[in-house]
Structure 1
Amino acid sequence: MKNIIFMGTPHYATCILKELIDQKFNILALFTQPDKAVGRKQILTPSHTKAFLLENNINIPIFTPTTLKDESVFNEIFKLNPDFIVVAAYGKILPKNILDIAPCINLHASLLPKYRGASPIQSAILNGDKKSGVCTMLMDVGLDTGNILESIECDIKDKNAVEVFELLAHLAAKLCVSTLKNYNSIVPVIQDENLATYCKKIKKEDGLITLDNAKKIYQKYLAFIPWPGIFLNNGLKFLELELVDELKQYSKEAQILELEKESFLLTCKQGILRIKKIQENGKKILDGRTYLNGKRLKCGDYLY
């Protein structure tokens, strides 16, 4: 069986790592991000992949280097003599000397060359794509520019980021096994640079919305679950909503159009949203109707 060094950090990577272990690949080592301080108490917390190995008492060496550029890291990987290095949402760039040790296969959560970069799933949802997928790519020194080995397409319409991450993680796990087992018979496909698009790392401020376009707000809501979420300039968070209409035009946004049992309809300059759960900064989560009652707002009033 093939000897694998696995490099990955979040839940997406854990799904792939678990499948490789279940399929009896010989995992020589896990390389993952260093433990991070999490929450208000800043508790030092391991990555999802590291926690998975520790919690299940799986005896695989774990490495958490702050950089892959140190010669000692290169020497450690070289000594392990892997047949493949599998990379899935690791969060670090592999330098050329490591890329040259063995074929490095990346599990990228888009159909390359579309959405190269750090946020392919969120970007596909933001753009309202009905289809997405995952591919195995032979890594080179560029940003997601390597030759494509295999890919799987799937439907993501109206799915949120959590659902799409879960879907693509399981597809990636199966695809990784296929690529490793059939590597010698796969003909790599060069990416078409004319079709390449790029996506950036998501930041907290990306969740800021204005009530201009209901459809765009809905896609942002789906893309930014669970983080950073979506919120107005005054800090008011929309935690659960639905798209009711995407075409109707209104002269002014933020009017309460209709009261419902646990929600309310809200106008945008274009379109209507159903606001189901809402939260002010530092306060508890409320259903939409309860929030309006507390603010003494009624049908025809404006949210702000």
Structure 2
Amino acid sequence: MRLAFMGTPDFAVPALQALHDAGHEIVAVYSQPPRRAGRGKQLTPSPVQQLAESLGLMVRTPFSLKNDEEQAAFAALDLDAAVVAAYGLILPQAILDAPKTGCLNIHGSLLPRWRGAAPVQRAILAGDAETGITIMQMEAGLDTGPMLLKSETPIDGKTAGELTEELADTGAALMVQYLALPTEYPPEKQDDTLATYAKKIEKQDARLDFSQPAEQVERQIRAYNPVPGAFLEYQGNRYRILKASVGKGSGSAGTILDDQLLIGCGVGTLQPEVIQKAGKPAMDLKSFLNGTKIPAGTVLQ
């Protein structure tokens, strides 16, 4: 098929590679403009742009698709379809309507659950047993379009990073599968009464709240790993907790209960296992305690 691909982060990279490997004609790749990153704050192309350029594909990085010139250029591509995966820009109706079969989205949840920007993190935070990928036909609403294919994935204690990587591979395979199906393959309308909204994760969300039950705090840690990174503060230093488990016993919320950094929660206790001080490498609990002492009885703020 004659396609445009629209994506930006690592999540979208396997789909672009899979479509290219499947022999589709990818006439243009759209990605968000390069951003400043790293210590030198150099302009850095997105992961999708980097892959597209390595494959010799034409890349476009507009700041918006709302102007007439960009919409005309997109229409001129004469596409069979556009494949979208975490692109990050709103697609106006003129863009949605331009390809012969419209725009197809790889969404990281089992719609209509977790429409929106952060479906993987919200599924973990909610304690969902499973999530997955939905291939959907895009329309003007936020992830409201008809569903075309689905694939379920158990969460099983994975971090958001681990789950996102798994879903990216699943989404890539599922999109290739869908494009090989007969054109009369029937879509499924979403049940709006079952919809939930996965609002964007903000940096302040990642401060650990030990007044919550230990199980919920552990979910926070998994949901915010790798970014923005769940954290606590002690003596003016920030410590990211990258891995933890629900501990035994109970104690006052936010209080260090022993010399192994067991922390009291609203219900139960939390045992940190992998910790990272700001600006330092991550380390296991034993290595961390060799260099940092937080005495029992300390109340974390």
TM over 0.5: yes
In structure 2, the residue corresponding to 1:176 is in which secondary structure? helix
Rounded to whole Å, the distance in 2 between the matches of 1:282 and 1:164 is 25
**TM-aligned CA distance change 1:97 to 1:40, over 3 Å:** same
Aligned length: 295
Q: Alignment partner for residue 66 of structure 1, among 63, 66, 71?
A: 63
Rounded to whole Å, the distance in 2 between the matches of 1:8 and 1:243 is 35
**TM-aligned CA distance change 1:77 to 1:282, over 3 Å:** closer
**TM-aligned CA distance change 1:302 to 1:152, over 3 Å:** same
Query: What is the CA-CA distance between 1:250 and the residue it aligns to?
Result: 2.5
Structure 1: which 5+ residue stretches go unaligned? none
Rounded to whole Å, the distance in 2 between the matches of 1:286 and 1:172 is 33
The normalised TM-score by structure 2 is 0.91
Once the two structures are superposed, residues 93-115 of structure 1 have per-residue CA deviations (whole angstroms, 9 ceiling, x without a partner) of 11001111121101100011111
Aligned-pair RMSD on alpha carbons? 2.0
Report which stretch shifted further, 234-243 or 217-226. Answer: 234-243
Q: What does 1:1-304 align with in structure 2 at a 5 Å threshold?
A: 2-54=1-53, 56=54, 58-102=55-99, 103-182=102-181, 184-212=183-211, 213-234=213-234, 235-245=237-247, 248-257=249-258, 259=260, 264-282=261-279, 285=282, 287-289=284-286, 291-292=288-289, 294=291, 296-298=293-295, 300-302=296-298, 304=300
Structure 2: which 5+ residue stretches go unaligned? none
Query: What is the CA-CA distance between 1:291 and the residue it aligns to?
Result: 4.5
**TM-aligned CA distance change 1:134 to 1:266, over 3 Å:** same
Name the % identity: 37
Rounded to whole Å, the distance in 2 between the matches of 1:292 and 1:173 is 42
Query: What is the CA-CA distance between 1:249 and the residue it aligns to?
Result: 3.9
Rounded to whole Å, the distance in 2 between the matches of 1:99 and 1:284 is 44
Rounded to whole Å, the distance in 2 between the matches of 1:189 and 1:65 is 32
The normalised TM-score by structure 1 is 0.90
Query: What is the CA-CA distance between 1:297 and the residue it aligns to?
Result: 4.6
Rounded to whole Å, the distance in 2 between the matches of 1:153 and 1:283 is 37
Rounded to whole Å, the distance in 1 between the matches of 2:177 and 2:279 is 48
Rounded to whole Å, the distance in 2 between the matches of 1:253 and 1:208 is 12
Rounded to whole Å, the distance in 1 between the matches of 2:131 and 2:199 is 17
Query: What is the CA-CA distance between 1:266 and the residue it aligns to?
Result: 2.6
Query: What is the CA-CA distance between 1:8 and the residue it aligns to?
Result: 0.5
Q: Is the 8 A contact 1:5 1:29 kept in 2?
A: yes
Report which stretch shifted further, 229-238 or 190-199. Answer: 229-238
